[in-house]
């Protein structure tokens, strides 16, 4: 069994299953009753970081694997990040259909 401490986890690169780099883990939300990480906060890199005011939230169920090298998430996380970027620059509204 491998372990990651908070110093390594909080800098871990995040990429999708198809290999798209999303950024790095910048935080997490922890359920105090179950002692489980519920969501990870991912800080996008590059231009995406400038557009998004908040980190991307990745649910525990969207994480496919975690190693000492990287976190791999489902490809739909990239689509959610792209939608947030489109909202940030006004290409898409926040109105729900």
Q: What is the pLDDT along the chain (97 residues), one digit of tens a residue?
A: 678 888 899 999 999 999 988 899 999 999 999 999 999 999 887 655 556 667 888 999 999 999 999 999 998 887 777 666 666 656 656 655 4
Query: Is CATH 2.30.30.240 what the domain over 6-88 is classified as, yes or no?
Result: yes
How far CA 53 is from CA of 34, 68, 72, 93, in Å, comes to: 30, 28, 23, 16
How far CA 70 is from CA of 16, 56, 87, 92, in Å, comes to: 10, 16, 28, 31
Rg, Å, the chain Cα set: 14
For the whole prediction, is pTM greater than 0.95? no
Rounded CA separation 73/87 (Å):
22
């Amino acid at each position: 069994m491998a372990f990651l401490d908070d110093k390594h986890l909080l800098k871990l690169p995040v990429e999708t299953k198809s290999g798209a780099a999303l950024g790095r883990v910048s935080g997490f939300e922890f359920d105090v009753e179950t002692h489980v990480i519920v969501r990870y906060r991912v800080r996008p890199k590059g231009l995406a970081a400038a557009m998004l005011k908040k980190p991307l939230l990745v649910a525990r169920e969207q994480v496919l694997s975690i190693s000492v090298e990287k976190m791999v998430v489902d490809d739909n996380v990239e689509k959610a990040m792209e939608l947030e970027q489109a909202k940030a620059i006004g290409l898409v509204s926040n109105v729900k259909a």
